[in-house]
Amino acid sequence: MPGNVLLLLVLIPDLMRTGASHLSRLTGPLQVNIALLDLLLFLYNVPVMFGNMLFESWRLGYVVCVTYNSLSLSIIFADFYSLLAVSLLRYMAVIHPTRTLAVSQRLIGWACVFIWALSFLFSIPLWIHYTTVEMEGETYCVNQMPKQQLSLYFRLLGGMAFLLPMLVMILCYSSIIFTLWVRRGLAIHTASSLQVNRRATVVALVTVVTFVVMWVPYWLVVFLMKDGELLTTGPRYLASNLTTLLAYANRCVNPIICFSLSSQCQAGLRKFVRRTGCCL
């Protein structure tokens, strides 16, 4: 969580910086969006998840039951589509660089709003069907959607929130890598812009690959779920919790990647340190 807060403190001032490149000004709001999503996950969902693991029954009330499960899905969806938007912008900057000039920072801001709205739309079934129930004197947080519908819903969601954006990102970065490294860049790219694009592409690609690898086990569990029977045994329950922890741990990795590989984030960190009077 401290890493995500620090990343926000570095990224937000850069949004107003006039000297930044056009592509940096476009990807900046999306990176801030991702950092905000990560912070929300850490501040709310992770504490609730650990609190729930301490007890056999649900002790956090109806409101937390509904918001925890629904927000988790919304954050996952918005994270993937924010990364997808970054990938598409980098694809345009490398393959069709003149087209990015027609894209404004305001348009990207509206794209972030659209991503949040779309993620909420896909989570509506969870807002409707999650509730608390009493069984044998214990309270449980359950999804009361019919089992076959629940299985179909999560598989459809996995396709829309994970598989589709992952395939598009693979296509984008395959084209980018072929252009920047195999063809040595298009004629319209100068040597300096080619180097900048390569460095930025490495950062984005590492972020996407790490994100996908750490989320694949979680979605495999979702796809293997059959009519809500996945968590009926101890090993399956453990597998579900471990894959969820691995997926959530990915949100700790993003700031590390940015500060380790991104020259823009490193420069922003140095400026932040100078502004606050700290020393490294």
Is 214 inside any structural domain? yes
Can you give the pLDDT at residue 127?
A: 93
CA end-to-end distance (rounded Å), the chain: 20
Can you give the pLDDT at residue 117?
A: 94
Is 280 inside any structural domain? no
Check: CB of residue 169 under 8 Å from CB of residue 233: no
Can you give the pLDDT at residue 258?
A: 77
> For the whole model, what pTM was predicted?
0.81
Is 238 inside any structural domain? yes
The DSSP result for 49-104, as a single string, is HHHHHT-SS--SHHHHHHHHHHHHHHHHHHHHHHHHHHHHHHHHHHHSGGGGGG--
Which domain range does residue 153 map to?
2-274
Check: CB of residue 83 under 8 Å from CB of residue 207: yes
Residues forming beta bridges with residue 133, ordered by sequence position: 140
Q: Total structural domains in the chain?
A: 1
| Token couple for 227 | 């009519």
For residue 11, give the CATH number of its domain: 1.20.1070.10
Can you give the pLDDT at residue 31?
A: 87
Q: What pLDDT tens digit does each residue of the chain (280 aa) get?
A: 677 788 888 878 777 766 667 777 888 889 889 888 888 888 888 888 888 777 777 888 899 999 998 998 898 889 889 989 988 988 888 888 788 888 888 899 999 999 999 999 989 999 999 999 888 788 888 888 888 888 788 878 878 878 888 889 888 888 888 877 665 555 445 555 556 666 767 777 787 788 888 888 887 877 776 544 545 455 666 777 788 888 888 777 878 887 777 777 777 778 777 777 655 4
Can you give the pLDDT at residue 105?
A: 85
Is 279 inside any structural domain? no
Can you give the pLDDT at residue 230?
A: 47
Cα 93 to Cα 152: distance, rounded to the nearest angstrom: 37
Is 198 inside any structural domain? yes
Is 92 inside any structural domain? yes
Is 257 inside any structural domain? yes
Cα 162 to Cα 54: distance, rounded to the nearest angstrom: 30
| Token couple for 63 | 């409101």
Check: CB of residue 98 under 8 Å from CB of residue 42: no
Can you give the pLDDT at residue 190?
A: 52
Cα 95 to Cα 177: distance, rounded to the nearest angstrom: 10
